Structure 1
Amino acid sequence: MDISPHKVKAGRPRAGTEHERHALMLEQALELFMLEGVSQTSVARIANVCGVSTRTIYERFDNKYALLIAAIKHMVEKDVSAMVQIDNLSNQTLHQVLTDIGRFMLNRVLEPRMLSFFKIGVAEASHLPELARAMKAVGPERIHQMLSDIFSFYAAKNMLPTLDFKRAAESYCELLIAAPRQKALFGVLGADWDAEAHLAFVVNLFLHGLHGMEPANAVK
């Protein structure tokens, strides 16, 4: 989904199934929310860009916030589908799977539009706590569940000890994303920042801990 910084393409597809048209509407609506902010994006504006009537939108969603949640859920499910298909789990080590998924996630959250949307979300969530909780449920919590399922898969094959997989998933995401995103938001993520080195360090730290890491990887 490519977003121009100045314009969102308008109009519904002339062909395709109802499911495809609905998906496109969600994607176009999310583009608007990302570009203009939630409070600044009206249902009428969304309808105009999507080439539908406001009545059509209200027939499907109670309000623009319900549409936003549906749009985020659609985006996350597409991302989850892409991540779980990166590699055949049965033929890969957990190290490789976490590296591939981590690379996908890191690239995604550091996209300029995603950083902009994160800023908007933080600013507006304080005024709409119920919306913030709903966004968390269809966003981060869905990613955490995907990773938890992957950890369970490896544990069932005796390739990973049984532990609190949901908490492990949350920890992996925090290690991977929190610091780079924070620096990017404040404009202090240097041009020389090495994403691959960060990813390798996080995966090794997560899987082995400081005591289990190779000396060369323990300190950078």
Structure 2
Amino acid sequence: MSTPIEIASKVKVGRPKSGTAQERHAHLLEHSLHIFMTEGVANTSMARIAAACSVSTRTIYKRFSNKYELLIAAMKHMVEQDVSAMFQLENLQQQSLEQVLTDIGRFILNRVLEPRMLSFFRIAVAEVAHLPELSRAMTVVGPERIHQMLADVFSTYARKGQLPEQNFLLAAESYCELLISGPRRRALFGMQPADWDVEAHIQFVVQLFLKGLQGMEPQNVGH
């Protein structure tokens, strides 16, 4: 299965001559995200996207009032594809929680450390400093969607008696921070050691997280 980033990197210039309206809409979102990622949000105009996709700016403006709405829609499309792909990981519901966290952790970390995602993260940080409302919207369609997906997974294993009841949204956010923050920070500043062992990092985070979570007293909280 191609990832959203791989799809964006392979997308051809011009509007598809065939396919459903949904497929043409997906093409617009994927190509737009590719342009945002490679050229930057500030340097990307609706006219630039329209020309690249062989559609009129009027057509795009019928769907999106500005490029930020288009950016958020493109990001949401990418995240939904990633979440769908995570749910399609082999035997997700039949594996141990440790293996599920390992598989999901590997999936998330690989996405976060892709060169285009690192580039886009730099761009997004610069943009949201001037547009706080964009920051909130991007958080909702990005991290919060992933956190909710993980919280649902934790709830499933709690019902099986393999986890104590907790605030699983907070647990999901903590897992992602343990998994992502250090490697992404080092990658952004070019400080990732050449011999860094990705799998060892994932295993350490999974063990640390699980032992901590499983050792906690149950809490009667809503999800």
Same fold (TM over 0.5): yes
Ranges in structure 1 where 5+ consecutive residues have no aligned partner: 213-220
Is 1:61 the equivalent of 2:47?
no
Is 1:16 the equivalent of 2:2?
no
Instruction: Within 5 Å, give how 1:64-143 maps onto structure 2.
Output: 64-143=67-146
Q: Give the Cα–Cα distance (whole angstroms) in 2 for the partners of residues 159 and 207 of structure 1.
A: 11
Q: 1:210 to 1:28 in 2, by over 3 A?
A: closer
Deviation per residue, 1:34-53 (Å, 9 max, x gap):
01111110000000111110
Map of 2:208 onto structure 1: 205
Q: Give the Cα–Cα distance (whole angstroms) in 2 for the partners of residues 58 and 138 of structure 1.
A: 21
In the alignment, which of 34, 39, 57 is matched to residue 37 of structure 2? 34
Q: Give the Cα–Cα distance (whole angstroms) in 2 for the partners of residues 72 and 117 of structure 1.
A: 11
Map of 1:215 onto structure 2: none
Q: Give the Cα–Cα distance (whole angstroms) in 1 for the partners of residues 12 and 41 of structure 2.
A: 18
Q: Give the Cα–Cα distance (whole angstroms) in 2 for the partners of residues 178 and 191 of structure 1.
A: 18
Map of 2:168 onto structure 1: 165
Q: Give the Cα–Cα distance (whole angstroms) in 1 for the partners of residues 214 and 25 of structure 2.
A: 50
* SS of residue paired to 1:91: coil
* Counterpart AA for 1:99: T
The root-mean-square deviation of aligned C-alpha atoms, in Å, is 1.7
* SS of residue paired to 2:51: helix
* SS of residue paired to 1:44: helix
Map of 2:48 onto structure 1: 45
Deviation per residue, 1:18-75 (Å, 9 max, x gap):
1011001100000000011111100000001111100000000111100000000000
In the superposition, the TM-score normalised over structure 1's length comes to 0.92
Map of 2:221 onto structure 1: none
* SS of residue paired to 1:87: coil
* Counterpart AA for 1:98: L
Is 1:146 the equivalent of 2:114?
no
Q: Give the Cα–Cα distance (whole angstroms) in 1 for the partners of residues 11 and 128 of structure 2.
A: 24
* SS of residue paired to 2:135: helix
- Deviation of 1:110 after TM superposition, in Å, equals 0.2
Map of 1:218 onto structure 2: none
Ranges in structure 2 where 5+ consecutive residues have no aligned partner: 216-223
Indicate conservation of the 8 Å contact 1:8/1:32, yes or no: no
In the superposition, the TM-score normalised over structure 2's length comes to 0.90
* SS of residue paired to 1:89: coil
Indicate conservation of the 8 Å contact 2:163/2:213, yes or no: no
Q: Give the Cα–Cα distance (whole angstroms) in 1 for the partners of residues 99 and 213 of structure 2.
A: 19
Map of 2:192 onto structure 1: 189
Q: Give the Cα–Cα distance (whole angstroms) in 1 for the partners of residues 160 and 214 of structure 2.
A: 25
Q: 1:88 to 1:8 in 2, by over 3 A?
A: closer
Q: Give the Cα–Cα distance (whole angstroms) in 1 for the partners of residues 200 and 163 of structure 2.
A: 24
The alignment covers a number of residue pairs equal to 210
Q: 1:37 to 1:23 in 2, by over 3 A?
A: same
Q: Give the Cα–Cα distance (whole angstroms) in 1 for the partners of residues 11 and 84 of structure 2.
A: 25
Indicate conservation of the 8 Å contact 1:87/1:97, yes or no: no
